[in-house]
Structure 1
Amino acid sequence: MSSSTGWIRDLAMGVRFAFGGGREGWTRTALTGLGIGLGVALLLISTAVPSALAARAERGEARFPVSTGGELAPGPDTLLMAGANMTYRNRDIDGRLVRAEGPRAPLPPGLASLPKPGEMAVSPALRELLASGEHPLLQERFERWKPTQTIGDAGLTGPGDLYFYAGSADLHRTGPQDYATQRVNAFNQEIARQKLDPVLLLLIVLTFVALLLPVAVFIATAVRFGGERRDRRLAALRLVGADSRMVRRIAAGEALAGSVVGLGLGAVFFLLGRTLVGSLTLGGRSVFPADLNPTPWLAVLVACAVPAAAVGVTLFALRGVVIEPLGVVRTAKPRKRRIWWRLLLPLAGLGLLAPLTGRGNDHGRFNTWQVSGGVVLLLIGITALLPWLLERLVGAISGGPVSWQLAVRRLQVDSGGAARLANGIAVAVAGAIALQMTFAGAEGSYTKDTGQDPGRATISILVPSGHEAGADSVARQVAAAPGIIRTVPVTGFSAARAPKTEGDDITVTVGTCEALAELARLDGCADGDAFALNTAAGTPDPGATARPGERLYGGNVHGFEGIDGAPAEAPVAFTFPAGARTATPREDPTGNLRSGLLLTPSAAPKRLGFSQSAQIYVQVDESRPDGLDRARTAAFKADPLATAMTLKQSGRDGNFSAVRTGLFFGAAGVMILIGSSLLVSQLEQLRERRRLLSALVAFGTKRSTLSVSVLWQTALPIGLGLGLATGIGVALGSVLLRMANQPVRVDWTSVLAMTGVGGGVVALVTLLSLPPLLRLMRPEGLRTE
């Protein structure tokens, strides 16, 4: 018989034992399959992330409007569209006002028809918010529109997308400088995406490695469930003539069967988890379950790698086991574990990462394979060092209460099994600590000071060109809302010394004395006054100015043509008042330093047309409930095209926030896997010791003593593993910060928090395992077949 035929025969026999070997056989197979299945499900979800993100991007591009052929004239196939984005309770709501200019106006994806004036198409998530009755301020914003249809999946980036299309009869283009309203004739425009910088790529690689490596450790641990009972069954095969190589191949067949069951369960868990994804929204992002499809080649890789790993781990575990016809010998006097090769793993990892030190954003890009290899070796080093440390620790312990002695003796007999139980949580905690340190260290580079001053204005409302005539009306309506302290409107336009000239534009800002005081330091002010802002050396971008008494032109000074065939607006002549004074500019509440001229309303020209802009500074009493949303609601009701921007002292890079959001998604999944796998591992170890526990109870050992001893058996290796994980996690985080060209700072509060989370998961799993433990300590556990 050829060697390949013998392999196939023995593997097939192992598969039959896995499914037909009685209750012990299929129980072990079920537990192994459950442990592997949980890991496979998370791996499949990870392989599906790229396709889900690509689908989100495609859906976002599909609803992006396109104007083909330059500036369009009204026609049967054109559509007027304006952005009406808003914020409600820190949730972004995106929307568009639309008006069809012809019967063949393009239809946004996800709509059956364009909403007419007074009608609105809303996403399912937004419809649910409006229909709940718990958000009166949001309902107030949309009171002029009636939801008549629901946007389909083709027009949404995810099931949690808050989006709307509202019909508006008042929508029109006010001029060529009207950037708020655009005329389009198609949808689906490709959007250029910003490339990620090296540090963000480093964070993404680290996130994937640190989150997926514990999954691989758990899968390797699940393969070895029920190892002692399996080895005793294999010893019986030696009695009927099987040699040592055959029994190892049979054991590999059992592991192969369990891994195949795990692949099936993993696929089921993945499909069940995918159905729940649609109900999750994190950081304003969500994905459709149908978009969460594993990348084919990655799914094939998982399907091939898991069974191969199961067979490899099983053969590796049996390398030091002698299976004889009359029993299993694991050596009469176990050799002490060696340390030298265990230290090589983390040292090799540091060796791979050290040459990349100092790269950062200004010193080139990182080799992702080198980074991945270094991080993997450092984290895998935990799984190699922990058994050695545990063996040395328990070997030096003696004495103590009975429960303590029982726990220590059990760990002295088999410290490897306890270390395997702790390996997964230790690797996860070490990766989490490194991630937290790296994100915290790099956050400063991606968080910028905006220069805004929320103490002077909470919200800045931008009124689009052509609507500034109603800026005062918007300000009055916002001021009437409860919780508004004050509103300060300002308008602006460009002026020149002669019409239709290029360059040397003079920026002119118009406002009351209260408004102008927000833009410059004034030595007294009354209506009719005018000021020329000081353009002394050191003022950034001083711009052009004018002399008192000089004749100027404002409005359409560049000679823009009229919109839609209308005659062009003529520039308006005016005289800069002879009594104008000089004023020193100051940063406005949004952080901008203005230049040019300041005019009070009486000194400003009238009827400037579309060539104006307007801004309203709003100060809100944030101690009152919903003060911000009341101001936003009032602004939207006054002018749906007005943009209310909340002022903040600092802002964070969007790509950095997206990566951090992905980390939260992944960390949540890994923590669920950690808890579930630990519980399965704990139950399997208790099942293996059922007869021993029952025998101890039968001889008079207190159940409480045995329960405490089991707790100690879990606490010792887990505590040692968390300590080792803290050290390696801090070391890895420090190396990664040096790679990112950031100063090394250890936030011990976060480190202890990560360690505490790991310990909390273990404590919860231990408490859940107590009821099965009490059931296993019954005298009936001594029965055997």
Structure 2
Amino acid sequence: ASVARLSAGVRDRRLAGLRLLGLTPARTRVVAAVESGAGAVVGGVLGLGLFWLTRPGVSQLEIAGRDWSGTSFTPWPLAAAAVVVGLPALSVAVALLPTRGLRRGMLALAKLDAARMPSPWRLLPLGVGLLLIGVRPSTDGHISNLRLAVFVAAVVLCGLGALLVVPVLTRLIAELLVRLPGRPAVRIAGRRLQTQPAGVSRVVAGMLIGLFLVTGGRMVLGAFEAQDSYVSAALAVEGDHAPYLVDLPRGIHLEAAADRLAEVDGAHGAYIDWSVYTPCRGVQSPCLTAFVGSCADLTVAVPGVSGCDDSTPAWVGPGEAAWGDKSSDVLWRNGQGEHLRLPAPTTTIAVPTDSDPIRADNLQAFIPTSTPGLAALLAPRYEDVAVVVQPEPGIQGELRAVAQELAPGARVYPSFWTDDYEFIAGLRALVWAVAAVVLAIGLLGFAIAAVDRSIDRRAEMVSLQLVGTPRRVIRAAQWWEAALPLALGLPLAVLLGWSAGSGYLALGGALDAQPWESVLGLAGVSVAAALLVAGLTVIACAPRLRADLIRRT
């Protein structure tokens, strides 16, 4: 039904011509219904056949890590029959709806008069929506129900405004093109947009709302990508340092176990996972965690650290600021309640800004294993060895095999949240898949409608050539007519989606999580695809002069 309306402006011209020739309204609607119904039947049958032919190959695809084409999504035969029968019926119903009820409107279409200028009130919902999105919440971080309702209303108004603003945008482009001096191709394109804006407006509006939703969804996903659990997992999976923890039973020689695990192919190193803590008794005595080991072990745990000395304890990153009182001693303890009081460190180990946020935040201090009195604290119930490896397929299985050699019953598990990473990565892939579908269907529909209009306007093209207009000028006019609404409308949709998404991020104070690269990339790909499709529509716009075409002019 949507495809049947893509070239509604051209169809209205044909029907207007039939009405002016004396055909009754009822017969005119019968012609429109037969035309749309026949196309829908042929398209539905062909689509159903191609669907079943391509299904074996498509069923092997996994989008966002999920089998969306599995047997659970196989349509019932009754549903397939309903599509073949219902699609033509819907197309016929749409075709019977009069798009220009007045005879004066039909006469204007037949004479190629400029369409009526859209009302500027169409801009009001979009303006109000953007204004409401710009309202920021209070600095205390509390989000009231009223503020949330205002944000939802703003997003709805922006989406509605994106639909309503397309005719205004198309007409403004047409008026601008007509007034540009010295370029016949641009003026021809502007005149066409003035007389037949409907086809362009419908397709561009559909793509605008689709890209608006996709961009907003991508912005919302940025809040999830900014979570420490995802950043930590992404660094492990996509980087070259994936930390794993090996649980060994008590009594195992840990130094020998660490040396054996460090020999695994792809391992950067292994160390005994010893940590001590400060007591937690409120804000006056914060909980701090100290890494116990050597500087080499610390470099394996947090790559890129600098300023470490095996002979003296030190703060790690912001640990000194977290402790606050530089003059007091620090009381360290293990999980069994044993304590050791040490002087507060006087030096700081620098941590790279791109380090694992969870690992870096949980290590506020470094204590060498040679520190006097520390050995009494290093007696946990379970002995853990941490190993950092290159994230390769099967690496966890290899670590598990080595751990079983060291001690039957040993466990190996990653020190990062794989579930969070897979979930968010799946959502991101799904967003891009939806964006690809929106662009593909929208641009394909636009190309079909543009080529259809070009074929229907062959008499106009021939007339232009007969009066001396070069074919290259006609092709350039077609390109301008197709490219400008898309090249301006699609970035507008991305901008509106970014505005809505930034409003959502502002609710939680997470504006720093805006995925600029993804949003700009989506805008760039959209414009490039629009320009390419506009170029393809040029193919059928300027036929060579033939006797039969001249006679029809």
TM-score by length of 2: 0.66
2:247 and 2:383 in contact (8 A); partners too: yes
Q: Any idea what the Cα deviations from partners look like across 1:739-784, whole Å, max 9, x if unmatched?
A: 5665499877655433322221122223333444465665554465
Question: 1:38-87: CA deviations, max 9, x gaps?
Answer: xxxxxxxxxxxxxxxxxxxxxxxxxxxxxxxxxxxxxxxxxxxxxxxxxx
SS at the partner of 1:464? Answer: strand
CA shift, 1:422, in A, is 3.6
Q: Is the 8 A contact 1:694 1:780 kept in 2?
A: no
Amino acid at match of 2:175: R
SS at match of 2:252: helix
Task: Confirm whether residue 290 of structure 1 aligns to residue 71 of structure 2.
Answer: yes
Is it true that 1:380 corresponds to 2:159 in the alignment?
Answer: no
Structure 1: which amino acid aligns with 2:162?
L
CA distance in 1 between partners of 2:531 and 2:13 (Å): 26
Q: Cα offset for 1:644?
A: 5.6
Other-structure match for 1:768 = 536
* CA distance in 1 between partners of 2:132 and 2:86 (Å): 28
Counterpart-to-counterpart distance in 2, 1:744 and 1:339: 38
Q: Does 1:669 align with 2:449?
A: no
Matched, 1:280 2:51: no
What is the rounded CA distance, in whole Å, between the counterparts of 1:721 and 1:588 in structure 2?
A: 45
Check if 1:463 corresponds to 2:246: yes
The one-letter code matched in structure 2 to 1:643 is V
**CA separation in 2, counterparts of 1:400 and 1:755?**
31
Q: What stretches of structure 1 of length at least 5 have no aligned partner?
A: 1-32, 37-218, 494-508, 526-533, 548-579, 621-625
Amino acid at match of 2:443: G
Q: Which amino acid aligns with 1:343?
A: L
The match for 1:342 is: 122
Distance 1:356 1:374, change over 3 A: farther
Distance of 1:313 and 1:350 partners within structure 2: 36
Q: What letter corresponds to residue 449 of structure 2 in structure 1?
A: S
Whether 1:682 and 2:450 are equivalent positions in the alignment is: yes
Size of the aligned set, in residue pairs, is 497
- Does the alignment pair 1:635 with 2:399? yes
Who is 1:399 aligned against? 181
> Partners in 1 of 2:84 and 2:431 — Cα distance?
22
Q: 1:516 to 1:749 in 2, by over 3 A?
A: closer
Out of 1, 17, 28, the residue aligned to residue 232 of structure 1 is 17
Q: Give the counterpart letter for 1:591 in structure 2.
A: N
Q: Which amino acid aligns with 1:766?
A: A
1:301-355 per-residue CA deviation (whole Å, 9 max, x = no partner) reads: 999799658745763522355598xx88557865632424423443576699899
| Separation in 2, partners of 1:298, 1:369 | 35
Counterpart of 1:693 in structure 2 is: 461
- The DSSP-based 3-state class of the residue aligned with 1:280 is coil
Post-superposition CA distance 1:147-199 (Å, at most 9, x none)? xxxxxxxxxxxxxxxxxxxxxxxxxxxxxxxxxxxxxxxxxxxxxxxxxxxxx
Question: Among residues 221, 232, 238, which one is paired with 2:6 in the alignment?
Answer: 221
Cα separation, 2, equivalents of 1:432 and 1:417: 23
TM-aligned CA deviation for residue 656 of structure 1? 4.4
1:124-149 deviations in Å (ceiling 9; x for gaps): xxxxxxxxxxxxxxxxxxxxxxxxxx
Q: Is the 8 A contact 1:353 1:735 kept in 2?
A: yes
1:519-668 correspondence to structure 2 within 5 Å = 523=311, 543-546=335-338, 591=362, 612-618=382-388, 634-639=398-403, 642-643=411-412, 645=414, 656-668=424-436
- Pairwise CA distance, 1:684: 0.9
1:381-428 residue CA offsets vs partner (Å, 9 max, x unmatched)? 233432342343345x14313333333333343344444454344444
Note if contact 2:454-2:541 (Cα within 8 Å) is conserved in structure 1. Answer: yes
Change (3 A) 1:739 1:543: closer
Contact 2:137 2:143 in 1 (8 A): no
1:717 equivalent in alignment to 2:497: no
Contact 1:226–1:684 (CA under 8 A) maintained in structure 2: no
C-alpha separation between the residues in 1 aligned to 2:520 and 2:210? 14
- Residue identity opposite 2:61 in structure 1: L
| One-letter code aligned to 1:754 | L
Structure 2 residue matching 1:476: 3-state secondary structure: helix
Measure, in 2, the Cα distance between the counterparts of 1:712 and 1:451: 47
The corresponding residue for 2:407 is none
Say which SS state the counterpart of residue 336 (structure 1) adopts: coil
Greater relative CO, 1 or 2 (CA 8 Å, sep 6+): 2
Report SS of the residue matched to 2:226.
Answer: helix
Question: Does residue 423 of the first structure (1) align with residue 205 of the second (2)?
Answer: yes
1:483-502 alignment, distance < 5 Å: 484-490=267-273
| Corresponding residue SS for 2:126 | helix
Q: Matched residues in 1 for 2:241 and 2:292: separation?
A: 21
| Aligned residue type for 1:768 | L
From 465, 470, 473, give the equivalent of 1:705.
Answer: 473
Change (3 A) 1:689 1:763: same
1:672 to partner: Cα distance: 1.9
Provide Cα deviations, 1:522-567, integer angstroms capped at 9, x if missing partner: 7579xxxxxxxx9x898798654447xxxxxxxxxxxxxxxxxxxx
Equivalence for 1:189: none
Shift of 1:469: 3.0
Residues 132-531 of structure 1 mapped to structure 2, 5 A cutoff: 220-221=5-6, 226-236=11-21, 238-239=22-23, 242=24, 244=25, 247-248=28-29, 251-252=32-33, 254-255=35-36, 258-259=39-40, 267=48, 275-293=56-74, 311-312=93-94, 315-322=97-104, 334=114, 336-346=116-126, 363=144, 373-395=156-178, 397-440=179-222, 443-444=225-226, 458-466=241-249, 469=252, 475-481=258-264, 484-490=267-273, 523=311
Q: Cα–Cα, structure 1 residues 304 and 444, in superposed 2: closer, same or farther, change >3 Å?
A: farther
Contact 1:320 1:330 in 2 (8 A): no
TM (norm. structure 1) is 0.49
Q: Match of 1:469, SS?
A: coil
Q: Which amino acid aligns with 2:168?
A: L
Judged with a 3 Å threshold, the aligned counterparts in structure 2 of structure 1 residues 422 and 545 are, in CA distance, closer, same or farther, namely closer
Structure in which a larger fraction of residues adopt strand = 1
Q: Is the 8 A contact 1:682 1:769 kept in 2?
A: yes
* Larger radius of gyration between Structure 1 and Structure 2: 1
AA aligned opposite 2:412: T
Q: Letter of the 2:525 partner, please give it.
A: V
Q: Distance in 2 between matches of 1:510 and 1:746?
A: 37
